[in-house]
A and B are shown apart, each in its own frame.
Chain A
């Protein structure tokens, strides 16, 4: 279980880094509007997935953890936005912070459903739920990284 979670965290860090390195070589080809779309969607999805994986993995208290995940999301947004113009930098910063806060909230509700007033589940279902949500978000970020990677050909 712990090994699986750390593997997922590593994959979630690896996917934005690989996409960033491939985008960095071709940044002279981008127009203004294309850069805005890229920084919007990439920072949103990757920081959502990273925030969820960080909440399950790190054994620290909630206030420290939300600070760490917000900082990670804003770093993702800044590094995608800084490729193009200042406008896309602001959009990337905003969307990265929003996405990581949303991911932290989603993970907190998955661990303890009585936060939202839902009936709380048994502890055997908890591991299955954690595995399923992490797998789903990682597959989603992989799919969107493929979409973004092949987007500038069209």
Chain B
């Protein structure tokens, strides 16, 4: 079960890397309004899923899990935001921080239910698809 969780986390990292490369190629075409929304959505949902996976694997260490999820969300939101502008960096940073702070609490309440994790993964995939399609249409 633990290896399945780590496999899911690895798939998440691969997907967010692919989306990162795709957005980086299109970054000259995207305006700042869409850039702000893209950085908020990508950083927030990546922090959400990774926080849930971490608290499932290590239920005894609440504090290091919270700190790790917060730093991950901040990093992903800042990287997505830094393609466009300084202000998109700021909004991606703060939203990733907020979602990463919240996600281990939500994952701890769910008590290792696999259904909730699959729901969060579906949410993450759907948001990445929305980001890709919105970046293509502009």
**What is A's interface to B at a CB cutoff of 8 Å?**
33-34, 37-38, 40-41, 44-45, 48, 99, 102, 105-106, 109-110, 113, 116-119, 121, 129, 132-133, 136, 140, 144, 147-148, 151, 154
Complex interface: chain B residues within 8 A of A109 (CB):
62, 105, 108
Complex interface: chain A residues within 8 A of B59 (CB):
118-119
Q: Are B87 and A110 in contact (CB under 8 A)?
A: no
What are 12 A-B pairs with beta-carbon distances under 8 A? Answer: A33-B87, A102-B98, A109-B62, A109-B105, A113-B62, A116-B109, A117-B109, A118-B59, A133-B66, A140-B70, A147-B93, A148-B90
Q: Are A106 and B93 in contact (CB under 8 A)?
A: no
Q: Are B101 and A102 in contact (CB under 8 A)?
A: yes
Chain B: number of interface residues, binned into ranges: 20 to 34
Given the complex of chains A and B, what is the CA–CA distance between A9 and B98 in angstroms? 20
Q: Taking A102-B102, A109-B108, A110-B62 as given, write out 13 further A-B residue pairs in contact, using a Cβ cutoff of 8 Å, ordered by the A residue number.
A: A33-B32, A37-B87, A41-B91, A48-B97, A48-B98, A99-B98, A110-B63, A113-B62, A119-B60, A132-B67, A133-B66, A147-B93, A151-B90
Given contacts A44-B94, A140-B97, contact A117 B111 (CB under 8 A): yes
Q: Are B111 and A44 in contact (CB under 8 A)?
A: no
Kindly provide the distance from the CB of B107 to the nearest chain A CB, expressed in whole angstroms: 9
**What is B's interface to A at a CB cutoff of 8 Å?**
32, 36, 59-60, 62-63, 66-67, 70, 86-87, 90-91, 93-94, 97-98, 101-102, 105, 108-109, 111
Q: Of B63, B94, B102, B105, which one neighbours A129 at CB under 8 angstroms? A: B63
Q: Of A44, A105, A106, A151, which one neighbours B86 at CB under 8 angstroms? A: A151
Kindly provide the distance from the CB of A126 to the nearest chain B CB, expressed in whole angstroms: 11
In the complex formed, the residue of A with least CB distance to B59 is: A118
Kindly provide the distance from the CB of A45 to the nearest chain B CB, expressed in whole angstroms: 6
How many contacts A-B (CB < 8 Å)? 70
Complex interface: chain B residues within 8 A of A38 (CB):
90
Given the complex of chains A and B, what is the CA–CA distance between A121 and B73 in angstroms? 27
Q: Of A110, A119, A144, which one neighbours B93 at CB under 8 angstroms? A: A144
Kindly provide the distance from the CB of A51 to the nearest chain B CB, expressed in whole angstroms: 11
Kindly provide the distance from the CB of B84 to the nearest chain A CB, expressed in whole angstroms: 12
Q: Are A45 and B97 in contact (CB under 8 A)?
A: yes
Complex interface: chain A residues within 8 A of B90 (CB):
37-38, 40-41, 147-148, 151
Given the complex of chains A and B, what is the CA–CA distance between A132 and B65 in angstroms? 13
